[in-house]
Amino acid sequence: MILIGITGGIAAFKMASLVSELVQEGRSVVVAMTEAATRFVGPLTFQSLTGREVVTCPWTASEGRESPHIHLARCADAMLIAPCSMDMTAQLATGRCDNAVSLLAASIDRSRTPVLLAPSMNETMLDQPSTRRNLAQLAEDGFRILEPNPGWQACRTSGRGRLPEPEELRESLLEALASSTRAAIERGDEEA
């Protein structure tokens, strides 16, 4: 199963394309959204694309018998958080998990299951010392950071900070899944 975490940012609309493509390939996808993300794209969009409930509250998801975030974290083959907002990078870097996306990411054993972050924000926000520091900490903590693209942004300026296109995100996700599978085989994991 692939977990897709979506945070608040205009680039959230790109995730519908990615989720649709993954589902059409026959992949099991569960989407989790922060409250801010639901202001940009409604959960019904992703529920329609995946055929599954969208996790917006970590305490009410219906997957499995154990705590929803633990069940989903154990079942995940990979997680992608895109767009990953400045706020989400700060939450993950400091261990705060007060929403469905950050709680799921915190519940995953990153030594076995890759968690990819695709930062997306205005270039000035991306270049803030706190953001650079948080991204460095997250890389050290085992998250895989995808570099944002340069180009036109919703703030009507051009610069670094754009969310990679859905195809680029898909390729990064599939590469992470392949390397995770190889590592599991080398460890001798039964589920590989």
Catalytic residues: 155
Of the candidates 152, 160, 158, the residue with the CA atom closest to the CA atom of residue 135: 160
Tokens of 31: 């989407």
Q: Is 188 left (phi over 0), alpha (psi -120 to 50) or beta?
A: left
Q: What is the bridge-based pairing of β-strands 29-33 and 158-162?
A: unpaired
For the beta carbon of residue 182, count every other beta carbon within 10 angstroms.
Answer: 11
Q: What is the bridge-based pairing of β-strands 115-119 and 144-145?
A: parallel
